[in-house]
Amino acid sequence: MKRNKRYLIILLFTILFVGFKSKWTFLLPHHFPTPHYNFKKEELTEHKIELGRVLFHDPILSKDRTISCASCHSPYNAFAHTDHALSHGINDSIGRRNAPALFNLAWQKSFMWDGAINHIEVQALAPITDRREMAETIENVPFKLNRSNKYRTLFYNAFQDSSVNGQHLLKALAQFQLSLISANSKYDKVKLGHEQFNAQEKNGYELFLKNCNMCHQEPLFSNYEFVNNGLAIDSTLNDFGKISITHKSSDSLKFKTPSLRNLSYTYPYMHDGRFTKLNQVLNHYTKGVNQSTTLALELKNGINLTANEKVDLIAFLLTLNDEEFIRNPKFQFPKNNL
């Protein structure tokens, strides 16, 4: 009898434990650090993510219904805009920065190249209202969505409220983007013991740890800090980065360190897309660094790499491509709902 009781208590506890753990926290990669985003406070749900996916791919968010988030953040390019140095918006407007790739956003503390956005839920406000991107007013989006029965149903399923408001719109978009987790590259498989680096990749990995890991910290391949990496100022853009947000001279020319994951799909590189090839990027770090007062200490003397070392380093960097991520059907155009 007593024994049975004990089992019953243990059973009850396991039920509670399993029950409380959400389906989505199980998806967080084991070899990743604790995310910055608090999934316990704001749990991801299937309906909210699906609504977010529909909104992400729907040009209804833009003023003239021509541009969707996916226009510049295409799933097949790891949600970047391959081959476009600067972002494209409505009426063929050209933006002033490169559309960044979107993945592992739950580990980022701030958003945009200059960190202007402090929370993923309010990020979408920027591209929706920017006159060079979607040029819409944030008041008008819920108005348009409220006239669609499809959206009223989707919002009801997600939030138990069929009337669309700004908060729910932004939360749904955030949930879809938070679900974009890329952790199935060859590098990840090696880390989890399922695969092995070849000799070249292994050498490249060692070179990476010695020369790049300070800023492009594994396993996310960025510490998401803001640094001046010695790019010469482009006088046609005059973009000085984070200083425009903080007004602090110490933030001059600082931009967010991007992750190196999926780098084959996300060219061109840098905040203004000035480099199209990985070789150009490495050449910048070995002999092109521009000296200035806010330059990252690690780059004061440049990085020394021989031609052979560069080849090995690139071989390693290519193991960061996550093909499963870019082909994941859960992230593609929602055929059933659009």
Partner 1 sequence: MKILNLIQQCHLELKIILKFELYSFFIIRFLACLLNILVLLKSSFKRNTFKLITTKHLLLLLSLLSNVGFSQNSAINFAFHFGNSPLVLDKKYAFKNDSISITKFRFYISDIEFLNNETITYRLKKKHHLIDISNKTSIQIEATNNFKFNQIHFNIGIDSITNVSGAMGEDLDPTKGMYWAWQSGYINLKLEGKCNTCKTRNNEFQLHIGGYQSPFNTLQKLKINVKENKPLAIIVDVKAFLQEFTLENNCTIMSPSAQSVNLANYFKKLISLNEEK
Q: Which residues sit at the interface with partner 1, rule CB under 8 A?
A: 15-16, 18-20, 23, 42, 46, 116-122, 125-126, 128-130, 138-139, 141-142, 160, 165-168, 170-171, 174, 245, 247
Eight-state DSSP code of residue 295: B
Eight-state DSSP code of residue 222: -
Q: Distance between terminal CA atoms of the chain?
A: 58
Which CB, 165 or 217, lies closer to partner 1? 165
Which CB, 20 or 293, lies closer to partner 1? 20
Q: In the complex, what is the shortest distance from the CB of residue 288 to partner 1, in angstroms, rounded to a whole number?
A: 31
Please tell me the distance from the alpha carbon of residue 87 to that of residue 79, in angstroms, as a whole number.
Answer: 12
* CB proximity list for 310: less than 8 A, separation 6 or greater: 279, 282, 286
Which CB, 130 or 206, lies closer to partner 1? 130
CB of 133 closer than 8 Å to CB of 90 = yes
Which CB, 53 or 168, lies closer to partner 1? 168
Which CB, 16 or 232, lies closer to partner 1? 16
Q: In the complex, what is the shortest distance from the CB of residue 121 to partner 1, in angstroms, rounded to a whole number?
A: 3
Q: In the complex, what is the shortest distance from the CB of residue 145 to partner 1, in angstroms, rounded to a whole number?
A: 11
CB of 120 closer than 8 Å to CB of 105 = yes
Phi/psi at 50 (nearest 5 deg)? -65, -45
Write the CA distances from 101 to 8, 40, 80, 104, 270, integer angstroms: 49, 25, 4, 10, 11
Q: In the complex, what is the shortest distance from the CB of residue 156 to partner 1, in angstroms, rounded to a whole number?
A: 11
Token digits of residue 183: 């952790």
Q: In the complex, what is the shortest distance from the CB of residue 68 to partner 1, in angstroms, rounded to a whole number?
A: 18
| CB environment 197-215: b (16+ within 10 A), e (fewer) | beeebebbbebbeebbebb
Which CB, 141 or 215, lies closer to partner 1? 141
CB of 166 closer than 8 Å to CB of 317 = no
CA atoms within a 13 Å half-sphere pointing along the CA-CB vector of 142:
16
Which CB, 131 or 327, lies closer to partner 1? 131
Q: In the complex, what is the shortest distance from the CB of residue 23 to partner 1, in angstroms, rounded to a whole number?
A: 6
Which CB, 82 or 165, lies closer to partner 1? 165
Eight-state DSSP code of residue 100: P
Report the alpha-carbon angle 99-102-105, nearest 5.
130
